[in-house]
Amino acid sequence: MHSILGCNHLCFALPWRTLLPYLMALHLLHLGSAQFNVVAPSLHVTAIVGQDVVLHCQLSPCKDAWRSDIRWIQQRSSGFVHHYRDGEDLEQMAEYKGRTELLRNGLSDGNLDLRISAVRSSDSGSYSCVVQDGDNRGEAVVNLEVSDPFSQIIYPWKVALAVVITLLLGLFGITIFLYKKQERNFDRLELRAWRAEKRSEDLKDLVTVIEAFYEKMERMEAKVEKLTADMVQQREESEKHGEETVVETEESEELSEELD
């Protein structure tokens, strides 16, 4: 070993062949420490609407993740549920804003846990936890299932309500049909009544005509009877006058004979 002083620095000069094994060991040690996997302790997580849920992921082997790029991604939309890099939270999907938190107190131990607050039914699905650290990358998938017991309770009421609405609509339709049918029947009855009234008026007119005809016939009959009576009277008078003439003739003849 040689000691060299220069620029106020103390240097140790060693043969390069002596340093080479140490350098190779350090490089291999660095490569071994840089490689990692992302694992999910629980692949399937369940929750109820409104609850808070934590999706668990961690680095294997354990290592500090403070300086890593950590992305929780919704596989259905490929959108960022939560994005963390170098101690900062970055942009995320609008529907998750204010509802997610990366639990940083576990980052130094390699924990990548994500809390989602007030979960919704639409949050159900698969989530990928992707970690990028330099050239190394790891990924794990967690499935979240969100149930809504209240909707399951309400469901029969929804069915009953739908049935009631359907029955009401059917009843309304039948009522409209019957009303229209009754209206048509009323129109027909009204038409028949109008026709009957028209016929009645026609019959009245005919009766009036017949009555006028009878009156006229009665007047004519009265005239004929009067004329017949006059003719009979005239004939009787004529016959009476003829008898008186015969009597006068006979008396004249008798008087003539007496004079002779």
Q: Which tens digits make up the pLDDT trace of 92-142?
A: 999 999 999 999 999 999 999 999 999 999 999 999 999 998 888 999 999
Q: Is residue 15 within 8 Å of 104, Cβ to Cβ?
A: no
Q: pTM of the prediction?
A: 0.48
Do residue 210 and residue 112 come from a single domain? no
pLDDT recorded at residue 31: 43
At residue 255, does pLDDT exceed 70? no
Whether the per-residue pLDDT at 152 is higher than 80: the answer is: no
pLDDT value, residue 111: 93
**Residue 240 confidence (pLDDT) above 90:** no
Label residue 84 by pLDDT band (50, 70, 90). very high
Looking up tokens 């999706």, which residue turns up?
55
Closest CA to 106 of 62, 41, 53: 62
Confidence of residue 20 (pLDDT cuts 50, 70, 90): low
The tally of CA atoms less than 13 A away on the side-chain side of residue 91 is 1
Task: Evaluate whether residue 196 is within a structural domain.
Answer: yes
Assess if residue 238 is contained within a domain.
yes
Q: Which residue do the tokens 């009265």 mark?
A: 222
Q: How far apart are CA 24 and CA 28, in angstroms?
A: 6
Residues 126 and 154 reside in one and the same domain: no
Residues 129 and 23 in one domain: no
Q: What 3-state DSSP class applies to 122?
A: helix
Contact between 56 and 141 (Cβ < 8 Å): no
- Choose the most confident range, by mean pLDDT, from 30-39, 56-65, 181-190: 56-65
Looking at the structure of the chain, the number of domains it has is: 3
Averaged pLDDT of the chain: 81
Q: Which tokens go with 98?
A: 């204010």
Q: Average of pLDDT values for 28-40?
A: 66
Residue 141's pLDDT is: 95
Q: Distance between CA 135 and CA 129 in Å, rounded?
A: 17
Within its chain, how far is the Cα of 18 from the centroid?
83
Give the residue-averaged pLDDT of 189-205. Answer: 86
Q: Residue 29: what pLDDT?
A: 45
Is residue 260 included in any domain, yes or no?
A: no
In terms of domains, do 119 and 183 share one? no
Question: 108, 99 in Cβ contact below 8 A?
Answer: no
Residue 6: its pLDDT value, please? 31
**Structural domain boundaries, residue 9:** 2-32
pLDDT at 23 over 70: no
- Answer yes or no: do 52 and 17 share one domain: no
Does 250 score more than 90 pLDDT? Answer: no
